[in-house]
Amino acid sequence: MPHVTLTVNGKSHTAEVEGRTLLVELLRETLRLTGTHIGCDTSQCGACVVHVNGDSVKSCTTLALAADGASVTTIEGLAAADGTLHPMQEAFREYHALQCGFCTPGMVMSAIDLVQKNPQGLSEQEIREGLEGNLCRCTGYHNIVKAIAAAQDVMHGKRSEIARAAE
Amino acid sequence: MYDFAYHKPSTVADAVKLLADPDAKAISGGHTLLPALKHRLNKPTALVDLSGIAELRGIRREGNAVVIGALAKHAEVAASAEVAAAIPALAFMADHIGDVQVRNRGTIGGSVSNNDPAADYPAAVLGLGATIRTSKREIAADDFFLGMFTTALEPDEILTAISFPIPEKAGYAKMRNPASRYVMAGAFVSKGPQGVRVAITGAGPCVFRQADMEAALAANWSADAVAGIKQAPDDLNSDIHGSAEYRAHLVTVMAKRAVANAG
């Protein structure tokens, strides 16, 4: 069987895969990184979003072999070694941007890519449009949008910590 | 998915050799092919991944045209300064395909070769009168799109780049299905070296030119000129998302908006 070598969250891995093995299967089943979820499996819901070479992609619609040589970041790779959360994770917690939490890993990964690619800052409408590829079936979008708006200020260095949510 | 062999050639010549096998299929971003394979709608014995072929990359100006390599992702076309300066309507169209993650993986070559009736790119290619460059020849847009999921490409022929003549004016507008984000009806209009062109996607089984609207816009380039032109629903798609009559109505509305967007 063919081999794939890739860097996941800064660590190099080599694994034996089939031609048809999806990136999400490699992450979850071989590397046991189960933070990345499989929701619809039809590239619509975004629960499986990870970063491949800096771009958010749906790992349920990417072949593992197509990621050979790539650098992949998953939800497990965001927090610092001492457990300090990424500003986006911290904002999701502060703004209660989740209900059941199933969509959250994909939402966080999409949100980080969105904020990083828009250093000029995003309006509420632009955040909503940027999340078109992520579905929250609890329909908890309002707080997700608020969290991303708060996180972008910290990620762009405009604030040193996440603005507190209104009581 | 059924299993398959995976090849990643680094030249067009090697890819063409691998695709000589009738059971092999080309893949780039995979956002159409992989869902189809998951549904077992197709059973290739081998996939030939084109994404490692350097000669299929790049977006460049060549005289009075913008030439986009087959592997250009929708996000790259949307963000290209070259495209934004020469054909802003094309950058706008690329920026509104699917969602962010689809735009980060999907490629122009894949979309145009697949010729999905509800895809965006075929409208731009036909509406701008682009030329398709392949591993064998050049094909005019008017001769390329033959029918639903069918193009003039031969099985062992790869789309390598698309040359878009720079228009004087161009605009795009579409109505999306809110769930799938595929086009219900979309219009790409342009006025340029090839005269006035109006291409309609999403509404019928294959992208097509709307001759009545082209004649009206040639006489008077304005949204009002197409407002009274009715598209016949006869050959349009009818499904759970919308009837042929609804799509026919949308064609006129989208053509008006496209002309307004073109300025």
pLDDT confidence bin for A42, thresholds 50/70/90:
confident
B123 vs B158: CA distance, rounded Å: 20
Instruction: Name residue B235's amino acid.
Output: D
- Are residues A35 and A105 in contact, defined by beta-carbon separation less than 8 angstroms? yes
The mean pLDDT of chain A is: 96
Higher pLDDT, B180 or A144: A144
Q: Which of A47, A77, A107 is the last residue of a domain?
A: A77
Residues A62 and A124 in one domain: no
The mean pLDDT of chain B is: 96
Q: How many CB atoms lie within 10 A of CB B227?
A: 13
Q: Does residue B59 form part of some domain? A: no
Q: Any CB–CB contact under 8 A between A121 and chain B?
A: no
Residue B48, classed as helix, strand or coil, is strand
Q: Which of B96, B105, B130 is nearest to B207 (CA)?
A: B130
Residue of B nearest to A41 (CA): B35
Chain B residues closer than 8 Å to A56 by CB? 100-101, 104
B26 vs B15: CA distance, rounded Å: 8
Smallest Cβ–Cβ distance between B31 and the set A43, A56, A68 belongs to A43
Q: Does residue A27 form part of some domain? A: yes
Q: Is the pLDDT of residue A87 over 70?
A: yes
Q: pLDDT digit string (tens) for B187-204?
A: 999 999 899 999 999 999
State the DSSP code for A14: E
Q: Is the pLDDT of residue A167 over 90?
A: no
Q: Which range of residues forms the domain containing residue A11?
A: 3-77
φ, ψ dihedrals at A134, nearest 5°: -125, 125
- Average pLDDT over every residue of B122-151: 98
Whether residue A65 and residue B6 make contact (CB cut-off 8 A), yes or no, is: yes
Q: Does residue A136 form part of some domain? A: yes
Q: Give the E-state strand segments of B56-123 in sequence order.
A: 59-62, 65-69
Whether residue B105 and residue A58 make contact (CB cut-off 8 A), yes or no, is: yes
Q: pLDDT digit string (tens) for B40-66?
A: 988 999 999 999 999 999 999 999 999
Residues A122 and A92 in one domain: yes
Instruction: Write the CATH number for A19.
Output: 3.10.20.30
Whether residue B38 and residue A42 make contact (CB cut-off 8 A), yes or no, is: yes
Residues A128 and A98 in one domain: yes
Question: In total, how many domains does chain A have?
Answer: 2
Q: Which of A38, A53, A77 is the last residue of a domain?
A: A77
Partnered with residue B131 across adjacent β-strands are B140, B163
Q: Does residue A115 form part of some domain? A: yes
State the DSSP code for A122: -
- Are residues A19 and A2 in contact, defined by beta-carbon separation less than 8 angstroms? yes
Residues A100 and A126 in one domain: yes
Q: pLDDT digit string (tens) for A18-37?
A: 999 999 999 999 999 999 99
pLDDT confidence bin for A142, thresholds 50/70/90:
very high
For chain B, count helices (H), then strands (E). 12, 14
Whether residue B102 and residue A43 make contact (CB cut-off 8 A), yes or no, is: yes
pLDDT more than 90, % of chain B: 95
Residue of B nearest to A47 (CA): B101
Q: How many CA within 13 A on the CB side of residue B254?
A: 27
pLDDT confidence bin for B180, thresholds 50/70/90:
confident
Whether residue A58 and residue B75 make contact (CB cut-off 8 A), yes or no, is: no
Q: How many CB atoms lie within 10 A of CB B17?
A: 15
Q: Is the pLDDT of residue A1 over 90?
A: no
A45 vs A107: CA distance, rounded Å: 10
Residues A9 and A66 in one domain: yes
- Are residues B122 and B90 in contact, defined by beta-carbon separation less than 8 angstroms? no
How do beta strands A11-16 and B159-165 pair? unpaired
Q: Does residue B148 form part of some domain? A: no
In chain A, the N- to C-terminal Cα span, in Å, equals 56
B191 vs B213: CA distance, rounded Å: 12
Residues A116 and A150 in one domain: yes
Closest chain B C-alpha to A56 CA, distance in angstroms:
6
Q: Which of A50, A77, A104 is the last residue of a domain?
A: A77
Residue B5, classed as helix, strand or coil, is strand
Q: Is the dihedral of CA A62, A67, A71, A74 positive or negative?
A: positive
Chain A residues closer than 8 Å to B99 by CB? 46, 132-133
> Cα-Cα-Cα-Cα dihedral of B146, B150, B156, B157, to 10°?
50
Q: Does residue A164 form part of some domain? A: no
Instruction: Write the CATH number for B4.
Output: 3.30.43.10
How do beta strands A71-73 and B5-7 pair? unpaired
Smallest Cβ–Cβ distance between A43 and the set B35, B37, B49 belongs to B35
pLDDT confidence bin for A166, thresholds 50/70/90:
confident
Closest chain A C-alpha to B218 CA, distance in angstroms:
35
Instruction: Write the CATH number for A97.
Output: 1.10.150.120
Q: Does residue A161 form part of some domain? A: no
Q: Give the E-state strand segments of B112-254 in sequence order.
A: 131-134, 138-140, 145-147, 150-151, 159-165, 169-176, 183-192, 195-201, 208-209
Q: Which range of residues forms the domain containing residue B199?
A: 169-262
Q: How many CB atoms lie within 10 A of CB A90?
A: 18
ipTM exceeds 0.90, yes or no: yes
Instruction: Name residue B142's amino acid.
Output: D
Chain B residues closer than 8 Å to A43 by CB? 31, 34-35, 101-102
Q: Does residue B146 form part of some domain? A: no
Q: Pull the structure tokens for residue B114.
A: 């697949």
Question: In total, how many domains does chain B have?
Answer: 2
Residues A7 and A73 in one domain: yes
Residues A42 and A96 in one domain: no
Residue B222, classed as helix, strand or coil, is coil
